[in-house]
Structure 1
Amino acid sequence: MKISDIQVRRKPRQSRAKLTQEALQESFVRLLHERAAHDITIRDITDLAGVGLGTFYEYFSKKEDLIALTIHRQVKNNAADLKKYAHSLNQLSTNLALDDYLKQVMHYQLKQIQAQQFLWAQTFLLERQISNIESYRKSYEMMLQMWQSILAPFIEDAEQLKRISLNVQRVCYGFVSQTLLVEPNFEEWEELEGDITQILVNFIFNKNFLF
């Protein structure tokens, strides 16, 4: 998802402007802990951020644009963090097998999501309410590229890499998003991790496994 697709009126080019935009996003997230997104007003957001309404409209045309950017940044930051972890893991463990590597990456991913469980539950919910199909596809493509980067050291064939990355994303996104949408206070993370890793390992290493 590109920022231009979210209708950001002004891209922050200076550190102060960037901090202001981030303050608006953080204020929205803090307010989500108190009430539903549709009950949060732009005035609520600006008051908590300590800026005026005019400042909000310098960056966004409407509340939905702020929400869309917040979703985008949440997904983007998570992807960057996971890639960094995976690459460092690969560098430190030169003899690591693909299945162990994938299990460790998945464990790290789920721990990061669990640490921000409320925010991720809200992100998946708001994604369905706010994001248009084009924005969703671009966000999804960003995640596919992330998995390709993570799995590339172990899978040389380009088409196989694309296929496996696609199915890893399908499994991870499907399991986690549906779990948190249905049960925002979900607690059985160890069991969920086991289910996800079992399916992924079976898919990658068993050619006869029906996906």
Structure 2
Amino acid sequence: MKAARPTAPNPSDQPPARRRKPAQSRARATADAIRDAFFQLLAEKPYDRISIRQVIGLAGVGIGSFYEYFSCKDAMAAVCIHLRVKAIAAAMRASIDAHRSEPLTDRVDALIDAQLAAPLAEPEHWAALFVVERKVSGIEAFRNMYAEFVQLWMEALSGGGDWPVQAALESTAFAAHAMTYSLVSQTLMTASRPVDPAALRRMVGNAVHGYLSIHAPLAAPPVPPRREPS
């Protein structure tokens, strides 16, 4: 994903020199309120039309409180995206631990479900977040995030003991994550009508399982397409 140079903040929005991390519960609540307000506004209007004043007005905090935690609007957006991505990674980690003893195809389905649960539950919100991610994420941060997800896929594929020794693990994990992430993010960003979450989940599952059936056929034979329950 190509990273864009952040737009310079308005001079009136320049922050003080110091920031502090939200260490205490009240401070964390303030930072959470700011991020939640931003997330709510992002579902209602384009990122470029959201101002810091609008965010703090909805959050019910002062401008000084904003600058205690964020240097500018782009920094706030980057933190918001980072925390939500980390929550997805934590869900994937829990899925790996919970399904380690299951066959490869079941582990893969569980991991896809964990990775897509949040975007498919709130597709409009995540469509906006994916667009903003392209504006505010630096290339190094993006590479680090991508590597973390590929590592999770590697652990899921190899964790059950049925991964073929002759099958390339890292490249397969990279492809599985790339298909999952790209199909969801690009579908949500380019959709001109509401997305059908079940149909999108089936598309991702079919793509990943189809790839695995070629690269690890003994452990991941072709599976029937997922159908919605009648």
TM-score between the two structures when normalised by the length of structure 2: 0.76
Which moved further from structure 2: 110-119 or 121-130? 110-119
Mapped pair 1:46 → 2:52: no
Question: Does the 8 Å contact 2:95/2:110 carry over to 1?
Answer: no
Q: Which residue of 2 aligns with 1:5?
A: none
Pairwise CA RMSD: 2.7
- Structure 1, unaligned runs of 5 or more: 1-7
Percent identity of paired positions between Structure 1 and Structure 2: 32
Q: Kindly state the Cα deviation for residue 207 of structure 1 after the two structures are TM-superposed.
A: 3.6
Q: Kindly state the Cα deviation for residue 83 of structure 1 after the two structures are TM-superposed.
A: 1.9
Mapped pair 1:56 → 2:66: yes
Question: Does the 8 Å contact 2:70/2:76 carry over to 1?
Answer: yes
Report the structure number with the largest CA radius of gyration.
2
- Structure 2, unaligned runs of 5 or more: 1-17, 218-230
- Of Structure 1 and Structure 2, the greater helix share is in 1
User: Which of these residues, 110, 118, 129, is aligned with residue 123 of structure 1?
Assistant: 129
Q: How many residues align?
A: 199
Question: Does the 8 Å contact 1:71/1:123 carry over to 2?
Answer: yes
User: Which of these residues, 139, 143, 159, is aligned with residue 133 of structure 1?
Assistant: 139
Paired letter, 2:24: Q
Question: Does the 8 Å contact 1:9/1:59 carry over to 2?
Answer: yes
Q: Which residue of 1 aligns with 2:227?
A: none
Q: Kindly state the Cα deviation for residue 187 of structure 1 after the two structures are TM-superposed.
A: 2.8
Give the distance between the partners of 2:166 and 2:50, measured in 1 at CA.
46
Secondary structure of the corresponding residue to residue 51 of structure 1: coil
Q: Which residue of 2 aligns with 1:150?
A: 156
Q: Which residue of 1 aligns with 2:103?
A: 97
User: Which of these residues, 54, 78, 86, is aligned with residue 68 of structure 1?
Assistant: 78
Give the distance between the partners of 1:52 and 1:44, measured in 2 at CA.
11
TM-score between the two structures when normalised by the length of structure 1: 0.82
